[in-house]
Amino acid sequence: MPHSHHSHSGQFCRHAKDNLEDVILEAIRQGFQSFGLSEHAPRWRLEDLFPEEADLCPSDLLSTYEDFLKTALILRSKYDSQISLLVSLETDYITPLDSEKLTSFLAEHTEIDYIVGSVHHVNGVSIDFDRPTWLRAVKLAKEGRIGKTMNPGPPPTLELGDPADPELMTTYTPDLLSVQPFFEAYFDAQYNLIVTHQPEVLGHIDLCSLWIPNISLMQQERVWRKVIRNVKAVIAYGGLFEANAAAIRKGWETSYPSRDILQLIHELGGRVCLSDDSHGVSYVGLNYLAMRDYLKDMGLERTWYLIPSSRRQIGDYKVGERGRVAARPLDKWYDHPFWAKLEDAQRRK
DSSP string, 91-127: ---SSHHHHHHHHHHHHH-TT--EEEE---EETTEES
According to the model, what pLDDT value does residue 121 have? 95
Report yes or no on 146 lying in a domain. Answer: no
Residue 85: strand pairing partners: 35
Report yes or no on 126 lying in a domain. Answer: no
Report yes or no on 156 lying in a domain. Answer: no
Reported as a single tens digit per residue, the pLDDT across 318-338 is 999 999 999 999 999 999 999
Report the CATH number at residue 26.
3.20.20.140
Report yes or no on 131 lying in a domain. Answer: no
According to the model, what pLDDT value does residue 164 have? 65
Report yes or no on 184 lying in a domain. Answer: no
Reported as a single tens digit per residue, the pLDDT across 89-148 is 999 899 999 999 999 999 999 999 999 999 999 999 999 989 989 999 999 999 988 876
Residue 134: strand pairing partners: none
Confidence category of residue 349, pLDDT binned at 50, 70, 90 = low
Confidence category of residue 171, pLDDT binned at 50, 70, 90 = confident
According to the model, what pLDDT value does residue 155 have? 40
Report yes or no on 251 lying in a domain. Answer: yes
Residue scoring higher pLDDT (78 or 343): 78
Tell me the mean pLDDT in the region 257-264: 98
Tell me the mean pLDDT in the region 260-287: 98
Contact between 170 and 131 (Cβ < 8 Å): yes
Q: Which domain holds residue 270?
A: 3-118+198-348
Helix axes 221-237, 259-267, angle to 10 degrees: 40
Nearest Cα neighbor of 246 from 283, 294, 214 is 283
According to the model, what pLDDT value does residue 150 have? 53
Sign of CA dihedral 121, 123, 124, 125: negative
Sign of CA dihedral 56, 59, 62, 64: negative
Confidence category of residue 237, pLDDT binned at 50, 70, 90 = very high
Q: Total structural domains in the chain? A: 1
Report yes or no on 282 lying in a domain. Answer: yes
Residue 318: strand pairing partners: 326
Q: How many residues does the chain have?
A: 349
Nearest Cα neighbor of 286 from 341, 335, 344, 244 is 244
According to the model, what pLDDT value does residue 160 have? 45
Which residues lie below 8 Å from residue 259, measured CB to CB, with a gap of 6+? 298
Confidence category of residue 71, pLDDT binned at 50, 70, 90 = very high
Reported as a single tens digit per residue, the pLDDT across 181-207 is 999 999 999 999 999 999 999 999 999
Report yes or no on 217 lying in a domain. Answer: yes
According to the model, what pLDDT value does residue 344 have? 87
162, pLDDT greater than 60: no
Average pLDDT of the chain, as a whole number:
93
